Amino acid sequence: MLQPYLDPKSHFDKSNFQTQNQVRSETDSLNNYITELRTTISEVCLIGLKQYGKINHWKKLVQQSENLGLKKISTLLESIIASIQSSKDPNVSPILILTALLCLSKEMELLSQK
C-alpha cells in the first residue's frame, strides 16, 4: 500500500541487515584484537620482555591475527616468539615497533571506513 512512497534505498531487506550485522561483528572483533595486541605491546615496553615472556599468550595473538587475515602481524608476532625462545637476551623492539605501527594503520583504516 505504501510501496510507491517508500524510498528504494530505505527498503528493509533482511539479507542486507544480516550482512551489516556480520560486518559490524567482524569490525568489533578486529577492534578487540587490536586493543589486546596494543595492550600487550605496552606491557612489554613497561616491564620488559624477560618478565613478559608469555609464549602461550603470544601464540594466541598469532592465531587471532591469522583468523582475522592479518598476515603481516602474524609474521611479526611469530618472529617475536622465535626470538624469545632462541636467545637469552632477545632484541625484539624493532619488531614490536613494526607491529604497533601496523596496528595503528589498521585502526585508522577502520576509523576511515565508518
Provide the whole-model pTM.
Answer: 0.57
CA distance 6 to 17: 17
> Which of 57, 28, 20 is CA-nearest to residue 41?
57
Domains of the chain, residue spans: 14-113
**Which regions in the chain score pLDDT beneath 50?**
1-12, 17
pLDDT digit string (tens) for 26-52?
678 888 888 888 888 777 766 666 556
